[in-house]
Structure 1
Amino acid sequence: MEVFTFLVAFVVVGVLTCYFLSRQNIKIVSKHDGNRKLVHLNDYPIVGMSLRFWGTSEHMYTEMMKIGNTYRDQGMVILQMGLDQVLMIYKDEYMQKILTSGKHLDKSVFYDMLQPWLGVNVFTSTGGIWATRRKLLTPSFHYNILNDFVVVFNEQALIMCDKLEERIGQGEFDIGPYITLCALDIICATAMGKNLNAQKDSDSEYVKALHNTCEILVERQFSPWLWPDLLFNLIGNGRQFAKCTKVLHDFTKNIIELRQKEYNENEAKIIEEENAKMDAAEETNIYIKKKRRVFLDLLLYHWHRGDLTTKDIQAEVDTFMFAGHDTTSVATMWALFMIVSHPEVYEKVNQEIDFIFGDSDRPATPDDLKRLDYLEMAMKESQRIYPSVPFIGRRTTEELEIDGYIIPPKYIVTLFIGCLHRDPDNFPDPLVYDPDRFLPENTRDRHSFAFIPFSAGRRNCIGQKFAIAEEKTLLSWIFRRFRIETTQTEADLHPDISLVLRPKYGIKVKVSKR
């Protein structure tokens, strides 16, 4: 035992020493004034600020927000995380500088931690791989295809509402799981053409593994000593992470293999022939209007052509299964809570919904969703205060100048969207919930990068229109069918960062028939 302990200690010290030597000369300096320095927060030697974030993921997010608010005027600060320095940016013009750059597109080291689960995909990849994948996948989010998906949104929303109806008269409950399972069924149906039936089987092994995987990853991101793979597997939750990702991989792998067997030359030929007849402006859209196709169809088409391998397909499907449900479900939760906890907003949302749908129980159409202007403003305002993805990571590929400071290559950059959205210069009284902030006359003079819930620039969220349409569909159905009440206040929610920002104790509501 003593020999083993010595070997572990020797390996740990060796890894940390090598890493320190490789990073010690990477520093930010002022271009014109050597005495001008950025705020550099460093609590303790070796561990840096890591102990400040030690504890729950709720505590981590609260501490990050405190730092942003304390140094609001700076716009960016350096955080010493273990042996690494992380540049945290939360000012609109500084965000714009890096997000609009055609060079600094590489994701940060934190995204490397996702690769054992999500592989190399449009979300985690860099350089030529990312550009190629983005180009291949963009047609799957063409507006005609999204219109087809609205059918699925309605189908699954109705199942969710039927489940919620069972809770009428049963007191307060957490509506979050109902929304999450609905979103999971939607992404499974639209991404893979497979009915997961998560709403009817809430104890699904896939659902549990997904939740555990996210928790492990967040813990690792805020624990610099677990960043090296060797240490994560040796003293962290590496084994548990591997077990969870195997469950996730096996699920999607089985579906992919089945569809590959079904896919044939005739299907590829039909797609190509009908695609050739499309208008020249839509040449890149391989989907056709005659048959509802799913995301996996697009991947199989490129697999058939030799553009993608089976491993590539697996990576993209796993990514869309995660990103396509978790971000949308939490956005829907936050919006629902913020709307119903502000009676005047809730009344306006209901008036708009009643004007469009009346007393009918017909499915929502794409045109209906476009007309839900006030609901969209209410959704945006909830995303401003509680963005689904409050952090974005980048890694500089060469020197980058921001406000006279020279950021060296390979520097870790964290774009803190959660703090950006609460900048009082752009949003006076930033903690006040006011959908009118997004009236056209109120957004006209606002900095274009003051509100970026789906990121911005070339690496913005490829599925943002999908997410907005889905969220509108779910919320409109809930408000059409039920009267929602909550006794919670914002102070009861405790924002908790587990890859996405979620209310730690859920959204407690009472439902009654409308």
Structure 2
Amino acid sequence: MKDVKTFLTEQNLTVSKILLGTLLAYIIYLLIKFILYVHRLRKVFGDVPGPEKHWLYGNLHLLPSTNSHDRIMFGVSNCNTYIRYYVWWTTFAKTSLTVCHPETVKIVMKTSEPKPTGFMGIYRFGLPWLGEGLLIAGGKKWARSRRLLTPAFHFDILKPYMAVYNDAADTLVGNLRRYAEKREKFEVFDYISRVTLDVILRCAFSYHTDCQKEQGVRHPYVKAVEEIADEWNYRARKPWLYPDWIYFLTDRGRKFKRNCDYVHGVAEDVINQRKEALERSGKSDRKYLDFLDILLTARDDNNQGLTPLEIRNEVDTFMFEGHDTTASATSWILYSLAKHPEYQKKCQEEIDQLLQGRDTDDIEWSDIPKLEYLTMCIKEGMRDHSPVPFIQREFTHDFELDGKTFPAGTTVSLHIFGLHHNKHVWENPMEFIPERFTKDNIAKMDTFQFVPFSAGPRNCIGQHFAMNEEKVILSKLLRRYWFELDESHIVRRKVGAVMRAENGIYMYVTPRDV
């Protein structure tokens, strides 16, 4: 019996040694693989121009810690120094190529390469919020969704939305009246975010709320989206928060999850109400009136529709992109016009002439191309304050940039704000000059010189929707009010998933006699 026990003990020890040896061998294998990976990174990117790096934390120590305005301007400085592209080391083991010139941006944007969602990919941090909606999805999933959703933005679908744009803008004009009467300042982003949320809910989802009437406190959905987007950017700059099991144990991680749960609840309420309406009205011979109709009824080549989760992901994506980025663009354009009264006056003269003799201020579909100077100011505003400051792609194949070959798996950051302020691309890029966008000047531009909506196959699917909305809202506001900045308030950019103002933008309004 003793011999049997001794034998079993020896066998157990042998098995333990084998398991321990296997584990040790696997750890050594991973370590060697990691060392080879780092060596390969240094070999590939070692001679690529870029800021001087630290051996451990790369270039992170160079980022100004004071505020995001200084950080985005630091990026512009790099773009002006390296002109076409440069390498940025997030740590000693993570790099991205930053492109900031039309010729290098073109190489990336002409492809449909996916967004990076791996462990160190910044779009992974948006997955709990937006899932694999059109913004984040890649490959066949993105191509399928893009194909299914494109009909929602056909001109025949967009035309009826003009009535919603006008009505929502009228509500905003009315809301600002009390500030004009009392000569009180108001915060621009708050009010513009409410009107763009109102528009996207009504146009895309046939969903009516009182989001513009609830004044005095920030709308909870607008607040939640802003906090989620800010947290996304914050986490991307903190490599020690990349592991989910660490991040979601922190107070910030728990708050991020609560906000995601809230916006998901809003999206599901929108979807459920629309499903009930579709069931009541019947589906046969139904004309598609909005984006959600198409989400609920679209079928691919295999007659497969979108799953409930896919539908919610797209609703979350379009509620974000349809209100937040448009609010950013419109707010900054209004800021630029208030800062440059000579351009504000020119826009008002154009709008007054267009509406002369009419008994309504409504902007019609046929009026849109006639707002030429306002359009120039809108484009210059989106150049100077790019609503989406940067995006990323991850190449699935080897590619060439300025004669150098980069391997599959390379992350490329498209610094849109840097491109739009690159002094080697634009003359006097820090100045607000609407005349850059005259028809003659546009004809001379590189297609990839001005890309506020991205460009190429992964461009913004809703860009015409957004531009038309901005033109109507701004026309209504400029028709009725004169805008002046609160000179006592310093406006600084706050960079995240979208461009905001660090402490808001405050203005005064004066009624116009029209």
TM-score (norm: length of structure 2): 0.86
CA contact (8 A) 1:26 1:408 kept: no
* Partner in structure 2 of residue 477 of structure 1: 476
CA shift digits 1:124-162 (9 cap, x unpaired): 101101001001000100111111111111111111111
Alpha-carbon distance in 2 for matches of 1:328, 1:465: 11
Alpha-carbon distance in 1 for matches of 2:193, 2:349: 26
Report the more deviating stretch, 118-127 or 262-271. Answer: 262-271
Alpha-carbon distance in 2 for matches of 1:247, 1:105: 28
Whether 1:240 and 2:255 are equivalent positions in the alignment is: yes
* Partner in structure 2 of residue 48 of structure 1: 58
* Partner in structure 2 of residue 290 of structure 1: none
CA offset at residue 319 of structure 1? 0.3
CA offset at residue 19 of structure 1? 9.8
Query: Which among 492, 502, 505 is matched to residue 504 of structure 1?
Result: 502
Alpha-carbon distance in 2 for matches of 1:338, 1:371: 21
Q: 1:265 to 1:377 in 2, by over 3 A?
A: same
* Partner in structure 1 of residue 511 of structure 2: 513
Letter in 2 for 1:299: L
Alpha-carbon distance in 2 for matches of 1:255, 1:21: 50
Query: Which among 38, 41, 46 is matched to residue 24 of structure 1?
Result: 38
Query: Which among 74, 79, 95 is matched to residue 85 of structure 1?
Result: 95
Alignment of 1:425-436 (within 5 A): 425-436=424-435
Whether 1:181 and 2:180 are equivalent positions in the alignment is: no
Letter in 2 for 1:408: P
Letter in 1 for 2:468: A
* Partner in structure 1 of residue 315 of structure 2: 317
* Partner in structure 2 of residue 378 of structure 1: 377
CA offset at residue 418 of structure 1? 0.6
Alpha-carbon distance in 1 for matches of 2:483, 2:248: 45
Is there any run of 5+ residues in structure 2 with no aligned partner, and where?
A: 1-26
Q: 1:269 to 1:501 in 2, by over 3 A?
A: same
CA offset at residue 95 of structure 1? 0.5
Whether 1:215 and 2:211 are equivalent positions in the alignment is: no
CA contact (8 A) 2:80 2:424 kept: no
* Partner in structure 1 of residue 290 of structure 2: 294
* Partner in structure 1 of residue 139 of structure 2: 127
Q: 1:113 to 1:18 in 2, by over 3 A?
A: farther
Q: 1:321 to 1:452 in 2, by over 3 A?
A: same
Alpha-carbon distance in 2 for matches of 1:499, 1:357: 37
Alpha-carbon distance in 2 for matches of 1:380, 1:346: 14
CA shift digits 1:462-494 (9 cap, x unpaired): 0000110010011000011111122449x9321
CA offset at residue 18 of structure 1? 9.9
Alignment of 1:11-410 (within 5 A): 21=35, 23-27=37-41, 37-53=47-63, 54-72=65-83, 75-82=84-91, 83-102=93-112, 104-107=113-116, 109-168=121-180, 169-201=182-214, 202-235=217-250, 237-264=252-279, 267-271=282-286, 287=288, 293-302=289-298, 306-358=304-356, 360-410=359-409
Q: 1:223 to 1:354 in 2, by over 3 A?
A: same
CA offset at residue 216 of structure 1? 1.0
Alpha-carbon distance in 2 for matches of 1:122, 1:18: 37
CA contact (8 A) 1:107 1:125 kept: no
Report the more deviating stretch, 221-230 or 369-378. Answer: 221-230
CA offset at residue 344 of structure 1? 2.3
CA contact (8 A) 1:252 1:314 kept: yes
Is there any run of 5+ residues in structure 1 with no aligned partner, and where?
A: 1-12, 275-286, 288-292
Q: 1:18 to 1:504 in 2, by over 3 A?
A: farther
Aligned residues: 474
- Helix, strand or coil for the counterpart of 2:431? coil
Alpha-carbon distance in 2 for matches of 1:234, 1:494: 32
CA contact (8 A) 2:193 2:222 kept: no
CA offset at residue 50 of structure 1? 2.2
Q: 1:133 to 1:338 in 2, by over 3 A?
A: same
CA contact (8 A) 1:174 1:507 kept: yes
Q: 1:410 to 1:172 in 2, by over 3 A?
A: same
Letter in 1 for 2:185: E
Report the more deviating stretch, 208-217 or 413-422. Answer: 208-217
Alpha-carbon distance in 2 for matches of 1:250, 1:25: 46
CA offset at residue 226 of structure 1? 1.9
- Helix, strand or coil for the counterpart of 1:80? strand
CA shift digits 1:344-373 (9 cap, x unpaired): 212211111011112643321111122101
Alpha-carbon distance in 2 for matches of 1:243, 1:303: 33
Alpha-carbon distance in 2 for matches of 1:17, 1:351: 68
CA offset at residue 342 of structure 1? 1.6
Alpha-carbon distance in 1 for matches of 2:461, 2:163: 20
Q: What is the RMSD computed on CA atoms of the aligned residues?
A: 2.6
Letter in 1 for 2:296: L
Alpha-carbon distance in 1 for matches of 2:309, 2:32: 33
Alpha-carbon distance in 1 for matches of 2:78, 2:251: 27
Whether 1:456 and 2:455 are equivalent positions in the alignment is: yes
CA contact (8 A) 2:380 2:437 kept: yes
Q: 1:167 to 1:364 in 2, by over 3 A?
A: same
Report the more deviating stretch, 466-475 or 59-68. Answer: 59-68
